[in-house]
Amino acid sequence: MASLGAVAAPSRSRRESVAQAIILSGPAIFLAAFCIMPLVLLVLLSVAHHDEGTLWAPAFELTQYRQLAEPTFLRVIGFSLFLAATSAVATLTIAFPAAYFISRMRRRAQVAWLVFILGALSLSEVLIVFAVQVLLSTSGVLVKTLVDLGVMASAHSLYPNFGAVLTCLVYLVLPYVVLFLYPAVSRLDEEMPQAAATMGASPIRTFFLVTMPLMRGPLVSAAALVVIFTISSYLTPLVLGRPETWTVGVHLSNTAMEAGDVPLAAAQAVLLVAAIIGLLALVRWIGRDRSARA
């Protein structure tokens, strides 16, 4: 009997391994087909030869990567990073207090706010961008209100400019960040801020010295989420901004569609993907460093 049990155990383990392999084969095929293969093709296209007649021809050239060091493209990258970082700071400044106060409401009020935020996600980016465009136009409600209040001497459009682009991007990513921070804020230990207040710390001092350090990991992850969303944004800077406020996503599209330089556009995309992967690695390192110290 013991020998039969010993034979049955490896057989059962083998069947479980086969079942796990079958279950995981679907996600593995999906990742290979829709994530890994397109990235490999993008890298191969970035080293191809730019041909005016056929857009590109198979080759191995690094000409496109040398063009990435040109001052014009470096300025675009710098502005895209600045816009993404500014959007992250502005979004977290609004989203973190909002998530904190929602988590401290009654359960019914929390559900109502969460449903409202989820409803905001149902609006498409196209609809939001053009709604903001109408709102900031010369005949928009906001401009008319500012003129009636005497803030503006005459009616004029409030776009295109950097402020319009930043405002719309923050509006687009704000619901995602609030929902991202809500679970972590809900798990905050209320005893630690209360202990700090008992020891004489003011609410502001308690917020920055107690609450913020406890939320460092989620805040860093949320900031990375905003940067990933905004660094390559296309429609918002195209509609609400000027050429000097266009992001790398707009220039990438113009390089491929208008200039017809598909290999250069692919090289720009590879650089953008590498930057995002580096950002995710940095976030993971910060989270690991925090857990190691804990």
| Residue in the structure block whose two tokens are 């690991």 | 288
Domain boundaries, the chain: 69-126+157-293
Output DSSP code: residue 207: I
Asked which of 73-77, 118-122, 191-195 is least confident by mean pLDDT, the reply is 191-195
Task: List, in order, residues 6 or more apart from 285 with CB less than 8 Å away.
Answer: none
Asked which of 24-33, 44-53, 89-98 is least confident by mean pLDDT, the reply is 24-33
Residues in the chain: 294
Q: How far apart are CA 252 and CA 234, in angstroms?
A: 9
Q: Which runs of consecutive H residues, i.e. helices, occur in the chain?
A: 2-31, 37-46, 63-67, 71-103, 107-120, 125-136, 141-148, 162-186, 191-198, 203-206, 212-214, 216-230, 235-240, 248-257, 262-293
70's tokens: 């040109």
pLDDT in tens, 257-278: 887 788 888 888 888 888 888 8
Asked whether residue 5 carries a pLDDT value surpassing 60, the answer given is no
Give me the mean pLDDT over the 86-102 stretch: 92
Hey, what CATH class is 69-126+157-293 in? Answer: mainly alpha
Give me the mean pLDDT over the 51-72 stretch: 81
Q: By percentage, how much of the chain surpasses pLDDT 70?
A: 92
Task: Classify residue 118 by burial, with Cβ atoms within 10 Å: 0-12, 13-18, 19+.
Answer: exposed
| Plot region of 95 (φ>0 → left; ψ -120 to 50 → alpha; else → beta) | alpha
Q: By percentage, how much of the chain surpasses pLDDT 90?
A: 23
Rounded to the nearest integer, the mean pLDDT of the chain is 83
Q: How far apart are CA 151 and CA 16, in angstroms?
A: 71
Band the pLDDT of 4: cuts 50, 70, 90: very low
Residue 290: per-residue pLDDT: 54
Residue 68: per-residue pLDDT: 86
